[in-house]
Amino acid sequence: MEYQLADVFTDVPLVGGNQLAVFTQRRPVPAEVMQAIALELNLSESVFLCPPEHGGDVRTRLFSTVREVDFAGHPLLGTAAVLAREREEDEALLHIETNVGTVPISIQRHSESRFTGWMDQPIPRVEEIPDEEAVRLLAVLGLEHSVLPVTRYDAGIPHLYVMAESPEAVRGVVPDFPALGAAAGDSRINVFAPTGPETAVTRMFSPYDRVPEDPACGSAAGPLAAHLVRHGRLASGTRISLDQGKAVNRPSTLHAEAVVHDGRIQSVRVGGGICLIGRGELHVPDSMVSGPLAGTSTVGVVRE
């Protein structure tokens, strides 16, 4: 099984961004095998390309180290760069199928290995968090309060957002992952603070994954922009740049913008740099990829 490696949300390979493997075989593989491969590689996510089912350019299956996810940001941007290089296109508009629908991605090639991509994300569902749940989460994070209401946004992966008093408070969080998992359930936890009118620092914790702090989370960047717009901290349609990943020695830059009208989120876009850094082969026995489990579509959530 051939794959390509990418660093996403960076313009500099090997030292920043979120790491990704894209398997390009476009043939049915049992979900159990996909999950085993994702755990073997131990990256935030691994992508498996499949033939399209709804008129898109390709269908994707996205796996973290412990579960299949319906939607994710950096895997889709990395996939778009892989497809653009396969087609030798300098600019392309791609339609990539996911478990939550087809995601349009515009991609621009700057060199053989460096790209910039922008994706239109699904509109997230918004859920205000009860006070007692918010208080419990803040206590685990070691924060006295959240400047904005603690809110859950879900566009395929549920994310909780906590706005700290300062960038220093964000950087000072020392995560207790078992306690965070108990306080947040299946949601990822995002702690952020503005660093300027159109910039912010953010960290994303995923207690149940084997990569428990994400270097750069595209699925969280879009709802974060929407959260700020909804609460009047950012003008609708304004692009915000997010600094993430320094806490895990993978500095990353994500760009996001959201349009909100009458309190309703109308559109969410996320973009950034992509570096394709290598390729390889994984040797998997034929019996594992062609047996009766081929095409299995679900994997249960694993908590360890």
* Active centre residues (catalytic): 45
One-character DSSP codes across 50-84: E--SSSSSEEEEEE-SSSEES--HHHHHHHHHHHH
Strands 114-120 and 264-281: antiparallel
Residue 47: closest CA among 223, 58, 55, 268: 58
Phi, psi of 226 (to 5 degrees): -65, -40
Residues 295, 286: Cα–Cα separation, whole Å: 14
Q: Give the distance, in angstroms, between the CA of residue 274 and the centroid of all CA atoms in the same chain.
A: 14
The answer to whether 217 and 74 have CB atoms below 8 angstroms apart is yes
Q: How many CB atoms lie within 10 A of CB 12?
A: 12
CA separation (Å) from 254 to 42, 154, 244, 288?
22, 19, 8, 37
Q: How far is Cα of residue 194 from the mean position of the Cα atoms in its chain?
A: 20
The Cα angle at residue 247 between residues 241 and 253, in degrees rounded to 5: 20
